[in-house]
Every structure is written in C-alpha cells, then in structure tokens.
Amino acid sequence: GAGVSQTPSNKVTEKGKYVELRCDPISGHTALYWYRQSLGQGPEFLIYFQGTGAADDSGLPNDRFFAVRPEGSVSTLKIQRTERGDSAVYLCASSVYMNTEAFFGQGTRLTVV
C-alpha cells in the first residue's frame, strides 16, 4: 500500500488479556516508530526501530510492553496483562531514515474494559 497500515483499527479487550497490534510501514522505510496518544494530548514516544533492531525503547512504560520488527518491515507491539490505563490510540509511523519526517498510520484504538 501507499501509506502506513495498522491493524486492527479498533481493539476492545478485557483487563489482564494479551494484545498484539500490527504495523505495516511504507515500503523502503528503514525507521519505524510506535507512539501512544491519549485523548486531548500529543503523541507520546514509545519505541523506534532502525532496521530490525530497537534503537531506542526508552518510552515503553514498563515491561508489559514489547515490540518486534524481525525482518525490518512489519512490526508488532505486544502488551501483556493489559490494564485500563493502557487504553489509548497507538500510532505507528515510518520514515526513510531516522532523521527525516515520519508518516503516520491511522492508529489502533485500544480499549481495555
């Protein structure tokens, strides 16, 4: 596709469950980012990849959050033992390289009930 694709667009899960959010970046983009956006706030950095490796994961809130990008393209954000406070829109973005503008997907709205 032409843009960054995120699936699912909406996810409702019960507290304590495990969820996976998928991101398919723009073809050829080496950098991939995950952000989290709560209502009325700007996106908050979680992690970014340059190629297959996590170059900076300092924004992950705790060890329940983990992300992978095994082949340098698609990435999955994994959240274990979800909590109600994890409810937010999770945004994925990609860029040609880490010091260029990022292009965002539509986001996955996660609701933990």
Partner 1 sequence: GNSVTQMEGPVTLSEEAFLTINCTYTATGYPSLFWYVQYPGEGLQLLLKATKADDKGSNKGFEATYRKETTSFHLEKGSVQVSDSAVYFCALLATDSWGKFQFGAGTQVVVTP
Residue 3 phi, psi dihedral angles, 5° rounding: -120, -175
Per CB under 8 A, the list member of 28, 41, 63, 70 interacting with partner 1 is 41
Per CB under 8 A, the list member of 42, 62, 71, 84 interacting with partner 1 is 42
Please list, in sequence order, all residues whose beta carbon lies within 8 angstroms of the beta carbon of residue 50, skipping any fewer than 6 positions away.
30, 31, 97, 98
The Cβ of residue 52 has, within 10 Å, a number of other Cβ atoms equal to: 14
Query: 41: number of CA atoms within 13 Å, CB side?
Result: 12
Q: Is 33 in the site for partner 1 (CB under 8 A)?
A: yes
Taking the complex as a whole, how short is the minimal distance between the CB of residue 34 and partner 1, in angstroms?
11
Stretch that binds partner 1, among 15-23, 32-40, 63-71, 76-84 (CB under 8 A): 32-40
Binding interface with partner 1 (CB under 8 A): 31, 33, 35, 40-45, 48, 50, 55-56, 58-59, 91, 93, 98-99, 101-107
